Structure 1
């Protein structure tokens, strides 16, 4: 036995992996043919952590539950959804949707900046992030994300829809793909569409074989996969180099690229994400979420598998076609129901290696139409809402002012 081990020890990991795959396939076939498919909800730190903490301890968390005004937990069949809403009730209404790895805190500085200009804003944690619960095995697709936007709106103490009410949508990264999808289905609800380093049109060559295997095959047991992905997210992947549009995106890149980059020992200036809790920083709450939210990795994996990250060309093209009709018509209904200025505003980072500038400009122009999109750029990577929030708010406000 010892001699066999010495001769074959390099094969053992592959034998174990093969056994794992075989067992996983068997379990998968059993589940397909069984009726035990009941949906459940994985609780968030609201239930698993906060009850154990004093008010002082809760306030000292990397993501404190009172980071923004008027927090509410909206109950639904998909679990509880954490929503914040503040600003003048008669102000311009804006909903902000964050990306795949961070909770809504990443858009806090932009939300504060818009409130300073008189807007009424809604921020919320997507399912499985921050203080929102995680529905499983519900696919975290555009359908679920659309429902969360509608839940956030319906739970507001003021009216956001009906009687001529419309609102602006701002989406960052995955949130960009989400709000574009929402707008394509509910065009008369949305007065303005703003995309920050948006997903949706990511080119296929940027998806690694490792990503496809880990996120899409279903051959490895989910618990094992969650452990692998959690370790990758915790350790991070080396960032890809800017200016290489054929560079493949590593499995943990959605997390590592949303972190502010340090260059030559100089930490970039970061925006104040929460005025109630000014000590909040992105690296701290990213690590905290991995440890404190039992549903985060499940939500992250499902979002990679089912979310509007790539292949959304027809969805975006539908927006472009409506804008073409709006801009060519003198009908009064378009003035009331169309997107402001007859364009979509896209803001990106020169140094972004996930959403590459030249590719985004080419692909978004092709599906939306060159007359229906406006591009603005900041000197940043994918983390632009954190490091360039003032410039971003400035671009948004100027766009609204015409």
Structure 2
């Protein structure tokens, strides 16, 4: 036997791979035929799995305190409980902010507070499987789920966000950029302006390694094994990036590390206040906290990679471009009332981002949206720009709104 293996070194691995593939297909066929033993399930967030075990003092000292922002509500839905925050003047410009793939909405806290200071009514939510939102399984974390999530959050407000010709601004960061672009492509009359921060959606396939595609997309690796592998990789991430690090192909979980502020010797970086209620809250400890305390976090992360708007979203962006082109060509007054009143998409990104590369972003977004339909602004930051450059982002947003609107911001 040993001599046969030495003469045929590739036969056994191929046979094992075939067995694994056969088992995987068999499990899928079983689910198609019978519906599977757990066709629909909700994995509860730390609200149920952790908070009941903690005192109030222990809860407020968590990396992501449960009362980090005003206007807390937990929205009950068929997809589980959804954590939403909403505050600011009731008659102010309405703004919904959507975070990225790994950190909950705390990552956008400094931007949200700044908008509220300018008189905006802001809303943030934890996407499914992040922070204090439950995880629906095996529901794919695709644009369909995320569109439903946004609509659930809007419908739960005591104010009208979509009725009586109401519109609201959408700000999406990283994966959230892909999510809000997709939402806007289908509901442009609801969106007063679209602002994307280092957005996903147009990430080039050449920047996703072959190993990433095999592990995260084909199902050749047992799901439990894969979850454990990814958890170990995530716990090893989070180290500061070298200032001279080349723009390499990002690993599938590079975004986790890059959503945290990177300390560089030449930077005089002061961590921003993300939560004014709990100013000690910091992004740096949230991913390990989710890994240890949110049973659905890994499942949501993997599902977002597989089904979310990471790459290949050109059709969504083209629908936005068609709307803007028609709007800008006609100049009809009705467009000024129905949505996308600014006539452009504002994209803000970082010069040093190794996930969303500046040159590629400008080339690809300009090609799909059209030069007249997009404005780019850049800050001296990496992928963590909403945390490290919130003041600059707020200035760009204010200037963008003031250009075509007399509404105070």
Please report the TM-score for the alignment, with normalisation by the length of structure 1.
Answer: 0.93
Please report how far the alpha carbon of residue 218 of structure 1 lies from its aligned counterpart in structure 2 after TM superposition: 1.1
Q: Separation in 2 of the partners of 1:56 and 1:75?
A: 26
Contact residue 245 and residue 359 of structure 1 kept, 8 A:
no
Distance 1:334 1:245, change over 3 A: farther
Per the alignment, residue 252 of structure 2 pairs with 251
Paired residue for 1:319?
320
Q: Deviations for 1:240-261, whole angstroms, at most 9, x for unmatched residues?
A: 8899998321132010111111
Matched, 1:174 2:178: no
Contact 2:241 2:262 in 1 (8 A): no
Query: Which secondary structure does the structure 1 equivalent of 2:188 belong to?
Result: coil
Q: Which runs of 5+ in 2 are unaligned?
A: 404-409
8 Å CA contact retained: 1:340, 1:400: no
Question: Aligned equivalents of 2:285 and 2:123: distance in 1?
Answer: 23
CA pair 345-6 structure 1, distance change in 2 beyond 3 A? same
Task: Tell me the CA shift for residue 28 of structure 1.
Answer: 3.3
C-alpha contact (below 8 Å) 2:167/2:191 kept by paired residues: yes
Residues 240 and 247 of structure 1 are in contact (CA less than 8 Å); yes or no, is this contact kept in structure 2? no
Q: Which whole-Å deviations, capped at 9, do the CAs of 1:276-297 have from their partners, x for residues lacking one?
A: 1111111111210111100000
- 1:372-383 to 2 correspondences below 5 Å: 372-383=373-384
Q: In the alignment, which residue of structure 2 is the partner of 1:33?
A: 33
Q: Does 1:370 align with 2:371?
A: yes
Q: Given that residues 259 and 283 in structure 1 are in contact (C-alpha distance below 8 angstroms), is that contact kept between their aligned partners in structure 2? A: yes
Residues of 2 paired with 1:389 and 1:244: CA distance? 24
**What residue in structure 2 maps to residue 277 of structure 1?**
278
Contact in 1 for aligned 2:261/2:384 (Cα 8 Å): yes
The C-alpha deviation readout for 1:214-245, integer Å capped at 9, x for no partner, is 11111222111111111111112888889999
Q: C-alpha distance in 2, partners of 1:260/1:11?
A: 47
Contact 2:350 2:385 in 1 (8 A): yes
Instruction: Tell me the residue number matched to 2:199.
Output: 198
| Whole-angstrom CA distance in 1 between matches of 2:179 and 2:9 | 47
Q: What's the offset of the Cα at 1:114?
A: 0.4
**Which SS does the other structure have where 1:188 is aligned?**
helix
How much is the aligned-residue C-alpha RMSD, in angstroms?
Answer: 2.7
1:337 pairs with 2:338:
yes
Query: Normalised by the size of structure 2, how large is the TM-score?
Result: 0.92
Which whole-Å CA distance do the structure 1 matches of 2:307 and 2:108 have between them?
23
Q: CA deviation at 1:318?
A: 0.8
Distance 1:247 1:345 in 2: 26
Aligned counterpart, 2:407: none
Deviation, 1:196, is 0.2
SS of 2:348's partner is strand
Alignment map for 1:139-288 (pairs within 5 Å): 139-236=140-237, 247-264=248-265, 268-288=269-289
**SS in structure 2 opposite 1:68?**
coil
Matches of 2:260 and 2:247, distance apart in 1? 22
Gaps of 5+ in 1: none
CA contact (8 A) 2:96 2:124 kept: yes
Query: How much has 1:7 moved relative to structure 2?
Result: 12
Q: Does the 8 Å contact 1:142/1:178 carry over to 2?
A: yes
- What do the CA deviations read for 1:152-204 (whole angstroms, capped 9, x no partner)? 11000111111121000000000000000000100100000000000000001
Matched, 1:120 2:124: no
